Amino acid sequence: MNPLSSILLAATGIEADRSATFTSTVVIAGIVIVLGILVLLIFVFKAFGAIVHGAETRGKKKKLKAMESQVTVASAPSAPAVKAAPAAPAPVVDSGIPGEVVAVIAAAVAASEGPGAVVQSVRRVRPNPVGVRNPWAAAAVAENTRPF
């Protein structure tokens, strides 16, 4: 009998059970508890996902109904058409740039900045000489080598 067991026996009157049956019971109970908690967590996360999905679906349905009502209001007959604003001047374009590229750039600017944005010029960017990093690569080097 080791000294710790004798102290436990003297203090509580309980002797530690070191049989294989008791040990296997404790191990199996531990495994069952851990797996049970994992299954419980799976159900909790699935329920949370269902709640979030339902909330998103309700939000999308509300937006869709609002958009449909706006479409019906917009399709109703209205007052005579108002004159369109004068078109912006055509952008200055370097030679060798196709008109389709200019149109795509102008459409992207209008989509991101709004209808009031105007493209004034489109030009080619000279490629960097060998050994000079482009701005994205320089930013990556600066970010990854910055001290904590």
Does the model's pTM come out above 0.75?
no
pLDDT of residue 76: 54
Residue 106 and residue 67 share a domain: no
8-67 tens-digit pLDDT: 777 777 777 788 999 999 999 999 999 999 999 999 999 999 999 999 888 888 888 888
Residue 47 carries which DSSP code? H
Q: Tell whether 53 is covered by a domain.
A: yes
Question: What residue numbers bound the domain in which 58 lies?
Answer: 3-75
Instruction: Give the whole-angstrom CA distance, residue 3 versus residue 50.
Output: 56
Residue 106 and residue 65 share a domain: no
Residue 7 and residue 64 share a domain: yes
Q: 80-115 burial, b if ≥16 CB within 10 A, otherwise e?
A: eeeeeeeeeeeeebeeeeeeeebeeebeeeeeeeee
Q: How many CB atoms lie within 10 A of CB 45?
A: 10
Q: Are 88 and 117 in contact (CB under 8 A)?
A: no
How many domains does the chain contain in total?
A: 2
